[in-house]
C-alpha cells in the first residue's frame, strides 16, 4: 500500500493566507472601504510594512515594475496613496499613505487582530502560536533542486530568499 502524503506545506500556507485575506477583504468592504484586488492587497501589505519603493515591491513579489506601477496607480486612484519623489534617489518615487490610506491601514490592522482572535477561538491559542513560531523560524535560503532531486549548493533562487522581515514581532 502506497504511503499517503500529508497536504504540502505550500498549499496549507496558501489556504491560511486566503482565509485571512477573504475575511479581511469582506470585513473592510462591510466597513465601507473600497474593494481591493489581490494584487492591490499584496502591495498594501508591503507598504504598511514600510516597503515604499515600487522597485522593491516588484522584486519582492516577483512582478515586473510595470505591473506593480499599474497596481500602485489603481490604489492611488482610490485615494489611498500618493507618489512623491524619492529623497534618496532623484530618479525614483516613493509611496506615501494618504490620510484615508492610514485610516484604512488602522482598520485593517484591527480586523487582522480580530480575525486572529477568531482563529484562536476555533483551533486554539496554542496551535496558532505554534503555527506562527514555525513560519517565523529562519528557514535559510530557498533550496534549488536539480534534475537529480538533490540540492544545488551553489545555486540560490533570485528573489526567493527567505527574508529577515519574518522576524518575530512582539
Q: pLDDT tens digit string along 8-28?
A: 999 999 999 999 999 999 999
pLDDT tens-digit series, residues 27-54: 999 999 999 999 999 999 999 999 999 9
Domain boundaries, the chain: 9-138
pLDDT at res. 151: 87
Beta bridge partners of 96: 82
pLDDT at res. 79: 96
pLDDT higher than 70, residue 101: yes
* CB-count burial class (<10 Å; 0-12, 13-18, 19+) for 108: buried
| Ranges of H-type helices in the chain | 9-30, 38-48, 54-61, 65-77, 99-123, 125-136
Fold observed for domain 9-138: Arc Repressor Mutant, subunit A (1.10.10)
**pLDDT grade, residue 5 (50/70/90)?**
confident
Q: What is the CA radius of gyration of the chain?
A: 19
pLDDT at res. 150: 87
Q: Are 124 and 116 in contact (CB under 8 A)?
A: no
pLDDT tens-digit series, residues 115-155: 999 999 999 999 999 999 999 999 988 888 889 998 886 54
pLDDT tens-digit series, residues 55-86: 999 999 999 999 999 999 999 999 999 999 99
pLDDT higher than 60, residue 2: no
CB atoms within 10 A of CB 71: 23
**pLDDT grade, residue 170 (50/70/90)?**
very low
Torsion of CA 24, 107, 86, 168, to 10 degrees: -70
pLDDT higher than 70, residue 166: no
Amino acid at each position: 500500500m502506497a504511503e499517503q502524503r500529508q497536504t504540502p506545506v505550500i498549499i496549507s500556507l496558501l489556504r491560511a493566507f486566503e482565509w485571512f485575506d477573504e475575511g479581511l477583504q469582506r470585513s473592510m468592504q462591510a466597513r465601507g472601504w473600497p474593494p481591493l484586488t489581490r494584487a492591490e492587497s499584496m502591495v498594501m501589505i508591503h507598504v504598511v510594512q514600510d516597503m515604499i519603493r515600487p522597485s522593491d515591491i516588484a522584486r519582492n513579489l516577483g512582478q515586473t515594475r510595470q505591473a506593480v506601477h499599474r497596481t500602485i496607480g489603481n490604489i492611488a486612484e482610490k485615494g489611498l496613496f500618493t507618489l512623491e519623489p524619492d529623497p534618496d534617489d532623484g530618479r525614483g518615487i516613493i509611496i506615501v499613505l494618504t490620510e484615508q490610506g492610514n485610516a484604512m491601514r488602522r482598520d485593517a490592522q484591527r480586523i487582522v487582530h480580530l480575525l486572529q482572535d477568531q482563529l484562536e477561538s476555533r483551533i486554539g491559542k496554542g496551535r496558532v502560536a505554534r503555527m506562527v513560531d514555525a513560519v517565523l523560524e529562519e528557514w535559510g535560503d530557498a533550496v534549488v533542486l536539480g534534475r537529480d532531486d538533490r540540492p544545488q549548493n551553489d545555486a540560490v533562487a533570485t528573489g526567493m530568499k527567505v527574508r529577515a522581515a519574518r522576524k518575530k514581532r512582539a
